[in-house]
Amino acid sequence: MNNYLMCPSTMCMNFDNLKEDIRLLEEAGIDIFHNDVMDGSFVPNITLGINDIKAIRRNTSKMIDAHLMIENPMNKVDWFIDAGVDLIYIHFESERYVAKTLAHIKGRGVKAGIAINPDTSIETVREVLNLCDYILFMTVNPGFSGQKLIEFTIDKLQRLIALKEQYGFKIVIDGACSPEVIKRLGEMGTDGFVLGTSALFGKGRSYKEVMEDLRKL
């Protein structure tokens, strides 16, 4: 049985019966509730807001994150910290003073992370890796679900994995996390996966049954 961090994407959850869906996911053995926040500017879509995250926080003691696909996240990170998130990811391209924002997040007692897009180089973000508890590694372009894994990202992932021990961060994969991708990238040395429709939701089986299979990969 693997011990990968399993992070269900809350966008895929049943918001008509949120409390029950959270309970079922917890019973299935998930680790982190992953919240995609999109502003319609940094990425074309608009998704979860503060009230959605507050509702999730009220119904779980599990770790929850906020993946901020928004412009100028420094202006908003305190909203999400006050809403109860445990981890905030920002994009290097969305913030002028990235190190300042990451340091502010950590200063508020919350874990901080960088989201690395397919076209973001490791060299671009390397100077702030010492401020990162987690790296959200995008194997697809941010802002859309249902995409296929971009194969050229794997070489960059291998180089990032080689830096884990030096900087002490964990790597979570976001995008096209099918069982095949989880097995392949998990064996390479990544730590966790964002689970959407490729692996967990809409499978016609219970979350517990699906998670049991994912833990065997």
What per-residue confidence (pLDDT) applies to 69?
95
Helix axes 207-215, 179-188, angle to 10 degrees: 40
What CATH number has the domain bearing residue 201?
3.20.20.70
Q: Which of 52, 65, 174, 191 is catalytic?
A: 174
**Structure confidence by residue, pLDDT tens digits, 74-128:** 999 999 999 999 999 999 999 999 999 999 999 999 999 999 999 999 999 999 9
- Tell me, yes or no, if 133 is annotated catalytic: no
- Tell me, yes or no, if 174 is annotated catalytic: yes
What's the total number of domains in the chain? 1
Q: Is pLDDT above 80 for 131?
A: yes
Query: Domain range for residue 58?
Result: 5-215
What per-residue confidence (pLDDT) applies to 141?
85
**Structure confidence by residue, pLDDT tens digits, 16-74:** 999 999 999 999 999 999 999 999 888 888 999 999 999 999 999 999 999 999 999 99
Residues in CB range of 159: below 8 A, 6 or more apart: 122
| Predicted structure pTM score | 0.96
What per-residue confidence (pLDDT) applies to 32?
98
Q: DSSP assignment, residue 4?
A: P
What per-residue confidence (pLDDT) applies to 188?
97
